[in-house]
Amino acid sequence: MPTQRYSVTQPPIETLFTWINSGEIAIPEIQRPFVWDASKVRNLLDSLLQGFPVGYLIAWRNPDVRLKDGTKASGKRILIDGQQRVTALMAALLGREVVTKDYETTRIRIAYQPTTRKFEVHNPAIAKDKSWIADVSAVFDPGTKLFGLVNEYCKANAGTSQEDIFASLETLRGITSNQIGLIELASELDIETVTEIFIRVNSEGVPLGQADFAMSKIAVNEAYGGNALRKAIDYFCHLAVAPDFYSVITKNDVTFAKSDFLQQMAWLRKENDDLFDPSYTDMLRVAFTSEFRRGKLEDLVALLSGRNFETKQYEEAIVQDSFSRLRSGVERFMNETHFKRFIMIIRSAGFVDASMIGSQNALDFAYILYLTLRELKVPDADIERHVRRWFVMSLLTGRYSGSPESTIDYDIRQIHAQGVVAFTDSIIRGDLSDAFWGASLPQELDTSSSSSPHFRVFKAAQVKLGDKGFLSKDISVRELIEVKSDVHHLFPKDFLKKNGLARGQYNQVANYAVTQSEINIAIGNKEPATYFAQLREQCTGGKKRYGNITNEDDLRANLASHCIPEIIGQSGLSDFPRFLAERRKLMAAKIHKYFDTL
């Protein structure tokens, strides 16, 4: 029979409050935005008054850690599921303030009608209606005398029964005696097991990632500045998306505004580049891997708990060291020079728009590589080359799409063990062999997905090599991508559909070209033989129909830059499969040429 690695208790709500106030149970989200609206809080109180169950809470106990004097300190229980419910109860019953999505502190006031025993969200009408107790927290205030409250209410509401009102308020007060289920998970459980339990127990089935557990560990550690570090990560990610949020922080979080963290991220208030808008998972992964030379966030959770990987024990000194190093990694991530130079390198590889990135894991590791090489004092020019080549290689091969954490862990360890030049060159030579360029890549380009990483890299190659748009003389592919231009079907979609081809056939990426919308519209549904005949007329003094190309040499150069076989000029429907096959080979050759320039 398997050993039970959890316990289930049913403490009263009032006991839960006591544990939270004493720090025995820590709520990692207490300083983060409260996402429930007030009506959901009202419904929770109503369920308690009706005696209905309100779900289980899940806590995960931190392991006991050995202190410097040899004694042990028992670990806190961290509430990993039920945070919103507990915060709602503390806000409504105890009058605690909550933090809104704009990081403003506010009160949630729930009103109570003693005669009907109904709850309602406080509003101006209720405030004027003496039949309502405008804020139930007054009933739960330890300084409130219930008899006095009843007398006061009955004086204001003639004809009400003191006995009935007393019974109603006594029943209301009694909801803190209601039991709530608490599942406590053993400290020795690994993240994967805890995640599995969470998903199975949580009624909504919302999975928690390893980054969520790491953030919980960070937030509840007061001894080593975890709350401030957690805010720094949250605020940086928010500012990267919404620079105007800076004024909200300075207005609503005065303590944080005085910290070094805000000064280090202040540059974001004037930054509008959206090529890399990191989530807290991205930020944690980059900061952790670049600083600790490990790639698995479960290791970060273990280190923040104080785990000594050699002795298998938990030590306070490791907790302290881990928080210090993680802070260092986060600060290096946030550094304006580092962040902007990294983005510049990615842009210099032709990735000028966020839509071209595709793999966030590949972008994360590229930044890890950048920070690692900076730390190793590698010359700037070599850093740029290594980062560009590794990033593009990882996109072309899908290196971080399968088991990203395992691959990241392997790569960072090998970079430090073998040296960056030896390791990256061996991987690139192996993964981007002649067979890849000549056979595998053309085959990968046989796809109808415009989000294909290989097609994205092809567009980056066009940007990097300075190509003009299809049939454009003056406007570049880069400019068209930056203004979200059309992707034109060289064999028009409507033409192919009318001839019976399915979506997967006419939407082949080898049938796409980045094009000005006016040229796309002008071509319409004409088959290539028709619009190329008009192009040849245009190149011999005839009417301009498609862009400003007016001679054959410029037309051939434009087709070559887009890897379009010249057979397109005489192509009909029967030539379409051969056209696609030939263009895929040309596209692969262009990507190869582009990679060699990196």
Buried b (16+ CB within 10 A) or exposed e, 212-238: bbbbbbbbbbeebbbbbbbbbbbbbbb
Average pLDDT (481-495) is 87
Mean pLDDT computed over every residue of the chain? 90
Residues with Cβ within 8 Å of 104's Cβ and at least 6 positions away in sequence, in order, are 248, 252
CA distance 206 to 200: 9
User: Could you tell me which residues come within 8 angstroms of residue 326 by beta carbon, excluding any fewer than 6 positions away?
Assistant: 218, 229, 287, 288, 291, 300, 304
Q: How confident is the model at residue 369 (pLDDT cuts 50, 70, 90)?
A: very high
pLDDT for 203 equals 52
Check whether 441 has a pLDDT greater than 60.
yes
* CA dist., res. 44 & res. 50, Å (int): 10
pLDDT at 204 over 80: no
Nearest to 261 by CA among 338, 332, 331: 331
User: What's 114's DSSP letter?
Assistant: T
Residue 65: predicted pLDDT: 65
Whether 202 contacts 84, CB under 8 Å: no
Contact 91, 45 (CB under 8 A): no
Residues in the chain: 598
Segment 166-184 shows an average pLDDT of 93
What confidence category does residue 295 fall into, taking pLDDT thresholds of 50, 70 and 90?
Answer: very high
Q: What is the mean pLDDT of residues 424-447?
A: 96
How far apart (Å, rounded) are the C-alpha atoms in residues 25 and 23?
A: 5
- Start-to-end C-alpha separation, the chain: 59
Nearest to 301 by CA among 35, 72, 75, 68: 75
The tens digit of pLDDT for each residue in 321-336 reads 999 999 999 999 999 9
The share of the chain scoring above pLDDT 90, in percent, equals 69
d(CA 176, CA 141): 12
pLDDT digits (tens, 9 = 90+) for 506-517: 899 999 999 999
Candidates 228, 188, 194; CA nearest to 209 is 194
Tokens of 199: 């998903």
Q: How far apart are CA 44 and CA 40, in angstroms?
A: 6
- Segment 22-48 shows an average pLDDT of 82
Phi and psi based region of residue 312 (left: phi greater than 0; alpha: psi -120 to 50; beta: remaining)? left
Q: Of the given ranges (19-28, 252-261, 554-563), which has the lowest mean pLDDT? A: 19-28
Q: Where are the beta strands (DSSP E) in 177-223?
A: 181-185
Confidence label for 185 from pLDDT (cuts 50, 70 and 90)? confident
- Residue 385 in this model has a pLDDT that exceeds 60: yes
pLDDT at 485 over 80: no
Q: What is the pTM of this model?
A: 0.86
User: Of 343, 453, 333, nearest to 393 (Cα)?
Assistant: 453
Asked whether residue 221 carries a pLDDT value surpassing 90, the answer given is no
pLDDT for 484 beyond 70: yes
- Phi/psi for 20 (5° steps) reads -70, -45
Q: Which residues pair with 61 in a beta bridge?
A: 77
Report the 10 Å Cβ neighbour count for 139. Answer: 18
- Beta carbons within 8 Å of 596's beta carbon, 6+ residues apart: none
Helix (H, G, I), strand (E, B) or coil at 228: helix
Is the pLDDT assigned to residue 501 strictly greater than 70? yes
- pLDDT at residue 32 in the model: 62
Cβ atoms of 265 and 232 within 8 Å: the answer is yes
CA 510, 470, 558: angle at the middle one, nearest 5?
100
**Residue 476, CA atoms < 13 Å, CB-side half-sphere:** 14
- Residue 220 has a pLDDT of 83
pLDDT at 3: 67
Distance CA 570, CA 589 (A): 23
Amino acid at the residue 250: T
314 forms beta bridges with 307
> Using CA atoms in the order 553, 559, 560, 562, what is the torsion angle rounded to 10 degrees?
150
